[in-house]
């Protein structure tokens, strides 16, 4: 079997069996190609010569190039999936990743926007009232009020929206229902009415004027621009609004299990990272609970 054909089969496996998103599949294939190119694999037979020592040397090279540990671990995760699949397919007899441990990842707290920077009056001054401004404002509000991912927003269809709720197709094609505020629900209804008048018919909620589905770079660029107008944060992306949603929910009394379900996390550990961000809430509780936490009058 030629090497390129084997990689096509691996891609089909990621899509059909692992049910990864197109974004994840692209990232996995990029990582595998990078690894194979780096160690000089050009024939399928060459894969049998890959040992754990070779993978470890490649990992060290990445670190020496300045690749952060988190990114290195992501690439190693890709290789674990790839070589495990190779064993299942009978391409390899043993998995060279079995003896590989990745570098310790740095613990980074998610970046979020302050609540006062997202008040309605401030946002009213940021977004224009024309067709494009209304669309951008709605995308911004959906990110902030629901915590959905960029890929999930792009895939939203008109039929996914019902009164005060949306159905989201998350990672590995897992569906979840997210409630909407009355105001956001009304904005969505109005937007769809205007969309029917001014944009070519499409099943997708957010489209270009020709009816084509909106694309990731455009959404990222828009959110980056608007966040730059209201905050001085270095990171400005749709995912920052997802972090902001989660942090504000916890600060205002949401339970972790509820937040886990809304965010579409597979396990609670992914949600618990946001508890570190609730510093304002922790400060308030500390001042109230500790006898020296506040100055007595």
Catalytic residues: 149, 171, 239, 242, 265, 274
Per residue, what are the HEC states of 147-198? CCCHHHHHCCEHHHEECCEEEEECHHHCEEEEECCHHHHHHHHHHHHHHHHH
CB 207 within 8 A of CB 156: no
Burial of 268 (0-12, 13-18, 19+ CB in 10 A): exposed
- Cβ atoms of 40 and 18 within 8 Å: the answer is no
Inter-helix orientation angle 131-146/182-198, to 10°? 150
| 25 contacts 15 by C-beta, under 8 angstroms | yes
């Amino acid at each position: 079997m030629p090497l390129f054909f084997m990689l096509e089969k691996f891609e089909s496996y990621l899509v059909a069996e692992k049910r990864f998103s197109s974004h994840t599949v692209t990232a996995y294939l990029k990582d595998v190609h990078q690894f194979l190119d780096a160690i000089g694999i050009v024939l399928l037979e060459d894969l049998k010569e890959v040992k754990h020592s070779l993978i470890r040397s490649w990992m060290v090279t990445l670190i020496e190039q300045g690749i952060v540990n988190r990114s290195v671990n992501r690439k190693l995760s890709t290789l674990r999936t790839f070589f495990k699949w190779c064993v299942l397919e009978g391409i390899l007899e043993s998995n060279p990743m079995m003896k590989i441990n990745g570098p310790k990842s740095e613990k980074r707290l998610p970046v979020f926007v302050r609540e006062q920077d997202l008040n309605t009056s401030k946002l009213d001054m940021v977004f224009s009232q024309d067709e494009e401004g209304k669309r951008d404002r709605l995308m911004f509000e959906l990110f902030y009020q629901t915590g959905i991912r960029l890929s999930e927003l792009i895939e939203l269809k008109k039929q996914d929206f019902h009164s005060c709720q949306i159905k989201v197709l998350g990672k590995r094609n897992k569906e979840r229902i997210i409630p909407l505020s009355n105001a956001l629900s009304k904005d969505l209804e109005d937007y769809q009415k205007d969309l029917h008048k001014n944009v070519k018919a499409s099943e997708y909620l957010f489209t270009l004027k020709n009816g084509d589905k909106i694309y990731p770079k455009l959404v990222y660029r828009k959110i980056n621009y608007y966040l730059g107008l209201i905050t001085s944060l270095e990171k400005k992306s749709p995912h920052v609004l997802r972090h902001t949603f989660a942090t504000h929910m916890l600060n205002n009394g949401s339970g972790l299990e509820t937040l886990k379900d809304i965010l579409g996390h597979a396990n609670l550990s992914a949600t618990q990272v946001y508890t570190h961000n609730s510093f304002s809430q922790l400060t308030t509780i500390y001042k109230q609970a500790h006898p020296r936490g506040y100055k007595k009058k």
